[in-house]
């Protein structure tokens, strides 16, 4: 028996397969912008868009080997 989550997942998969590659890229950028805005607004006080992106990038890099190049790029 299929769960409701399985049905939604299959529906999402069909919708994504119907998109052109350019539409998929546009969707990915839109989702990223939406998530950045949600993160930015959830901070107290709310961060600016550039500062929120920098915070997320630093968190993403936190577990990686240190790189002077990346340190200079993201502060």
Q: Which domain holds residue 24?
A: 4-74
Spatial distance between the Cα atoms of 75 and 57, rounded to a whole number of angstroms? 10
Average per-residue pLDDT in the chain?
Answer: 90
Identify the pLDDT of residue 10.
94
pLDDT: which is higher, 29 or 66: 29
Which pTM was predicted?
0.68
Residues 30-52 pLDDT 10s:
999 999 999 999 999 999 999 99
**How many domains is the chain partitioned into structurally?**
1
Contact 39, 46 (CB under 8 A): no
Percentage with pLDDT > 90 across the chain: 72
pLDDT exceeds 90 at position 74: no
């Amino acid at each position: 028996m299929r769960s409701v989550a399985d049905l939604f997942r299959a529906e999402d998969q069909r919708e994504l397969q119907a998109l052109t590659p350019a539409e998929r890229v546009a969707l990915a950028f839109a989702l990223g912008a939406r998530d950045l805005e949600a993160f930015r607004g959830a901070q107290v006080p709310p961060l600016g868009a550039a500062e929120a992106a920098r915070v997320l990038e630093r968190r993403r890099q936190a577990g990686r080997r240190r790189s002077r190049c990346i340190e200079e790029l993201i502060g």
